[in-house]
């Protein structure tokens, strides 16, 4: 810290202080609301990271939180687009999205009820909505429309019980549910990992979503350590990071491989020309024989 202060920040102060001390009021007010006036004065009015070193960690945590929430708003959009364009759910596990939806819904409700800063969990709500869309599409493209309707009704009932009603789920039950949400988060990745392994390819799985999940779960470990004194949440992010790393490893391993659906398509396309070729050859032979008989 002291080396960065003396070698980097102090020489730049004459140039940076006029900017940092004259930020537009909306920006300044937003920074104060995020990190507090004390840290705002130390980091922006004085450009000092040594007198209050905890302020730098808090500022980094808040910045990561904003980045994660912003990225989460589109993290699964490529996956949704791939599903819609291909009209296929190959390589995707509905069970995985069902478990992840349950885990994220519980975690969202737990954070809201606990009063933790939105910057530490905001992406949960955004990814939850995208998970519901993907789960419905997977059911739709596997000809299970009735199950899709039941799934939506179940999600709506759970939202009411966990976030709207104050009596259906009390504080003690909410704590137990959050403990179980960590296990659900871990379990949600296993069906997807097994699906990729069994098919020998990633099918319609989006690399953008996988690698963003990996980076997001790692960043959330840092922000939780900085801002949230809750082991239940921390352990969930640690377990999620480990399994996200496994899924990312599969994505890298199968990067140039084709899934079983693609292989099956290749086999069919290879057999059809062969059959056509064989039929054409037989027709030629029949034509030659017929012509010979006429000449005879």
Would you list the DSSP string of 59-117?
A: HHHHHHHHHHHHHHTTTTHHHHHHHHHHT--TT--HHHHHHHHHHHHHHHHHHHHHT--
Identify whether the C-beta of residue 148 lies closer than 8 Å to the C-beta of residue 136: yes
- 36 & 136 share domain: no
pLDDT at 101 (0 to 100): 93
Above 50 in pLDDT, residue 284? no
Confidence band for 257, pLDDT divided at 50, 70 and 90: low
Residue 274 inside a domain? The answer is: no
Above 90 in pLDDT, residue 204? no
Neighbours of 185 (CB within 10 A): 24
Domain count along the chain: 2
Counting every residue, how long is the chain?
Answer: 296
Pairwise CA distance, residues 67 & 5, whole Å: 25
pLDDT at 289 (0 to 100): 46
Residue 58 inside a domain? The answer is: no
Residue 277 inside a domain? The answer is: no
The percentage of residues in the chain with a pLDDT greater than 70, rounded to a whole number, is 86
- 106 & 171 share domain: yes
245 versus 1: the higher-pLDDT residue is 245
Residue 141 inside a domain? The answer is: yes
| Average pLDDT, integer, range 47-63 | 88
Q: Which domain holds residue 25?
A: 2-51
Above 50 in pLDDT, residue 267? no
- 76 & 216 share domain: yes
Task: Compute, in degrees rounded to 10, the torsion defined by CA atoms 274, 275, 281, 287.
Answer: -160
209 versus 21: the higher-pLDDT residue is 21
Q: Among residues 94, 96, 123, which one has the least CA distance to residue 107?
A: 123
235 versus 40: the higher-pLDDT residue is 40
Per-residue pLDDT of 60-113, as tens digits, reads 988 888 888 888 788 888 889 989 998 988 878 898 899 989 989 999 999 999
Between the two ends of the chain, the Cα-to-Cα distance in Å is 103
pLDDT at 189 (0 to 100): 81
Identify whether the C-beta of residue 51 lies closer than 8 Å to the C-beta of residue 74: no
- 43 & 77 share domain: no
Long-range contacts of 263-270 (CB under 8 A, 24+ apart): 263/200, 263/201
Question: 3-state class of 194 per DSSP?
Answer: helix
Composition of the chain by helix, strand, coil, percent to 5: 80, 0, 20
pTM value is: 0.66
- 28 & 87 share domain: no
Confidence band for 236, pLDDT divided at 50, 70 and 90: confident
DSSP letter at 52? Answer: S
- 47 & 133 share domain: no
- 33 & 91 share domain: no
Does an H or E element contain 35, and which? helix 25-35
Residue 296 inside a domain? The answer is: no
Per-residue pLDDT of 158-183, as tens digits, reads 999 999 887 888 888 988 898 888 78
| Average pLDDT, integer, range 133-142 | 94
Pairwise CA distance, residues 157 & 151, whole Å: 10
The helix/strand count (H/E) of the chain reads as 13, 0
Q: And the tokens for 30?
A: 């937003």
Residue 280 inside a domain? The answer is: no
């Amino acid at each position: 810290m002291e080396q960065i202060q003396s070698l980097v920040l102090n020489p730049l102060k004459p140039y940076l202080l006029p900017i940092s001390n004259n930020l537009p009021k909306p920006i300044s007010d937003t920074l104060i609301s995020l990190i507090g006036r004390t840290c705002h004065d130390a980091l922006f009015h004085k450009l000092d990271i040594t007198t209050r070193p905890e302020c730098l960690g808090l500022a980094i945590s808040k910045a990561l939180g904003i980045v994660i929430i912003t990225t989460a708003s589109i993290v699964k959009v490529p996956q949704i687009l791939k599903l819609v364009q291909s009209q296929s759910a190959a390589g995707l596990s509905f069970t995985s999205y069902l478990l992840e939806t349950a885990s994220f819904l519980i975690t969202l409700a737990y954070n809201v009820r606990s009063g933790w800063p939105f910057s530490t969990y905001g992406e949960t709500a955004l990814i939850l909505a995208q998970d519901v869309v993907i789960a419905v599409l997977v059911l739709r493209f596997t000809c299970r429309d009735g199950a899709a309707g039941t799934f939506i009704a179940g999600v709506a009932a759970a939202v009411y019980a966990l976030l709207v009603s104050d009596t259906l789920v009390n504080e003690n039950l909410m704590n137990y549910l959050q403990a179980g949400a960590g296990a659900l988060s871990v379990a949600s990745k296993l069906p997807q990992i097994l699906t990729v392994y069994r098919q020998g390819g990633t099918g319609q799985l989006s690399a953008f979503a996988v690698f963003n999940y990996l980076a997001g779960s790692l960043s959330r470990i840092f922000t939780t350590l900085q801002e949230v004194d809750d082991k239940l949440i921390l352990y969930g992010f640690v377990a999620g990071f480990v399994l996200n790393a496994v899924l990312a490893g599969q994505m890298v391993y199968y990067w140039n491989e084709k899934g079983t659906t693609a292989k099956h398509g290749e086999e069919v396309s290879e057999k059809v020309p062969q059959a056509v070729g064989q039929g054409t050859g037989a027709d030629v032979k029949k034509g030659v024989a017929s012509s010979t008989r006429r000449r005879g």
